[in-house]
Amino acid sequence: MSDAQSSKVDQVNALEVEPAWWRNQLLIPCVAGIFLILAWSLQRGWIVVNDNALLRWCLPSKWSVTNDGVALVCLTVVYVVAGWNAFLDGLRMAFKARLDIDFLMVVAAIAAAWIGEGIDGGLLLFLFSLGNALEHYAMGQSRKAIRALGKLAPKFANVKRGAQEIEIAVDQLVVGDVVVVRPGERLPADGNILAGSGSIDQSPITGESVPVAKEVSDEVFAGTVNGDGSLEICVSRPSSQSTMARMILLVEEAQQQKGHTQRAAEAFTRIYVPCVVVGTILALVVPYYFGWLTFDESLLRAIAMLVGASPCALAISTPAAVLSGVARAARSGVLIKGGLHLEGLAIIRAIAMDKTGTLTNGRPQIVGIFTADGVSERQLFKTASAIEQRSEHPIAKAIVRAAQAKDIHVAAAENVSAIQGKGVTGTVNGKTIEVGSARLMRERGAILNEKMETALAQHDASGNTVVVLSSQEKVLGFIALTDRPRAEAAQAIRSLHALNVRPVIMLTGDREGVAQAIANDVGVDEIEAELLPQDKIERVKSLLEKYHAIAMVGDGVNDAPALAMATVGIAMGRGGTDVALEAADIALMADDLQRIPFTIRLARFARKVIRQNVAVSMGMVFILIPLTLSGLIGTTLAVIMHEGSTVAVVINGLRLLAFREPQK
């Protein structure tokens, strides 16, 4: 993680000490509302303060104490408290030759006061400040996800130093440190279990509702809660690069990116607001010039039209829904990098998925070994693991694990390089070794005898993956592995079909027989096998041309280009590589494919809410403009209806926070 990214994490953690939204936002409309009620009551005569002895004692003797005077003071407080921020923002934008909603609100309130309708102007500013407070609340719900994440990891860790345990700050942990975590404690860092076992509550990170059983060598995450067993954990990443830190950055990025609807609304507002100003001037000048209305009547209707035409509700309609949707997804272990991707997910009609590590568990098991004459099984594993030990591919890891389990010392390989999409080559004990598919060996001129071809055909028929080793065109043998589908894969694909997301296409570099065996188990509609990384990009391009909006799901480095190319890229957050997570738009922190149908439902609901909000906000504008110009409603009712629509779209957007998955 770069210094800039670490700085971002520090800024996010600093959010913990920011005052709650109600301390600095809701306080403004509360104070303004109290003084507005006082002013209104004084003008109505419900409160009488004429010659009040206490007030006369508090005020200079030359000041007269009357209802109108005290009401004016109360209204001044309302204007200053509720309108100060809007005035500053509007003035700042005016200096930049841009007119915004704040400017319209302040102008309308001042104009109302000028013609003696100060209560209407105060009501406008009060409701406008209340709408802003609710807007901050809506946006604060997504920021709360960041604050919650920042509070999860403990600040200190118990580290083994020889025979002793010492307590140090978490940010001082280094890779390789062994930390001790007792029952009920939160884990201070990402790592692997060295000793102990137990169940760990991973819901803060992955959204899993049930604690997960963990044993020696299993990966664990900072911020999760240890259950009933004492654990010793070897730290695998510093705190600034932990899974939690990456989650924080992803949620932070989500707040910076805007969807198509929000961008369109902002572009529309930049053009629309000056048009409203021009329209208001015409509404004031034309009726008065032609003698249809008096100046005060024209001004009153122009102010009412200015209020009704202001696009306050439109400005908040999309962010309120998008940020609520992002926050709701984060609570279920799905991190969406912005409104653009939430909206994109709502319109996808087809989805492509990688096989290894995505549709399958990504932990292949060895199911067969074949050695050439004069080559022992131990020699085969020693040579294969020497080449594969530097690879992050699941098959390579499985071979290295098997060698370690057989207590085979892994030799050092030199000049290791990838043969793109086909295998790996390197030098072991001075001999050039190639590890890859049978197709690669045939291309290189290696000779496979009849017995070996028969064994290969049997494994092909069973859908197993075969890794062949050769040295200087002589085949040493092969290792057959199988990778079982994820338990939830078949149900996830059925759920996608129920959402009318089809076809579901498997893209894999494996042979067609292997791909077909997995496809039969999980129920994908189409398969594309034996693809190189560049082939995956071409397939995604062709799918985009055919279906216009598609999603791509993957976990590896070779999936990153395709993830970036798709309308929406979805990465497996737990098992995925950093490159895939960087290229993707959405991360599944629990690697749970069932989260994909859930997130699509959420995205479609968010899109529905956004459309409702846009319809309400613009519908209210189209209703109020003719009503105010014709004089059918006055400023007070226009203010209430206009600001009421702003509050309505905020509340409607917040419904996304309560989104629930349908009962299974």
Please give the positions annotated as active site: 354
> Around 650, how many Cα atoms within 13 Å sit in the side-chain half-sphere?
22
Tell me the C-alpha distance between 153 and 470, whole Å: 48
Cβ within 8 Å of residue 552, ≥6 positions away: 351, 352, 353, 540, 559, 562, 563, 565, 566, 568, 569, 570
274 preceded by a cis bond (ω within 30 of 0): no
Tell me the C-alpha distance between 581 and 600, whole Å: 19
Tell me the C-alpha distance between 68 and 49, whole Å: 9
Q: Which of 44, 43, 49, 37 is nearest to 122 (CA)?
A: 37
Tell me the C-alpha distance between 635 and 110, whole Å: 13
Other CB atoms within 10 Å distance of the CB of residue 363: 16
**Residue 628 contacts residue 301 (beta carbons within 8 Å):** yes
The torsion angles phi and psi of 493, rounded to 5 degrees, stand at: -70, -35
At 116 the three-state DSSP class reads coil
Tell me the C-alpha distance between 88 and 72, whole Å: 22
Q: Which of 210, 207, 245 is nearest to 330 (CA)?
A: 207
List Cα–Cα distances, 225 to 67, 191, 214, 220, 410, in angstroms.
Answer: 62, 14, 12, 10, 36
